[in-house]
């Protein structure tokens, strides 16, 4: 998570909807502009307020994407 506008083109813009402080970590429920909701766990060193706009950047190392039909077949 990075402040809005500070990340590369492959980022998803999101808004913080909920903040949960859980000891050494913080969980953020965020919603993207395409209406997708994500729960993100972060250290307490990174703090974002309710309503803050963020850029979500996914580390693509080790990510595997499956076509929708293949994903449905493996789930069955």
pLDDT at residue number 8 = 62
In the chain, the domains with their CATH numbers are 2-75 (2.40.50.140)
pTM: 0.67
Residue 12: partners with Cβ closer than 8 Å, 6 or more residues away:
32, 33, 34, 36, 55, 56, 57, 58
Residue range 18-53, pLDDT digits in tens: 999 998 899 999 999 899 999 988 887 878 899 999
């Amino acid at each position: 998570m990075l402040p809005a506008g500070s990340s590369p083109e492959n980022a998803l813009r999101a808004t913080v909807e909920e903040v949960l402080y859980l000891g050494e970590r913080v969980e953020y429920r965020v919603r993207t502009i395409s209406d997708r909701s994500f729960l993100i766990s972060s250290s307490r060193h990174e703090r974002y307020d309710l309503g803050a706009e963020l850029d979500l950047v996914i580390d693509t190392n080790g990510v595997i994407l499956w076509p929708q039909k293949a994903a449905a077949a493996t789930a069955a």
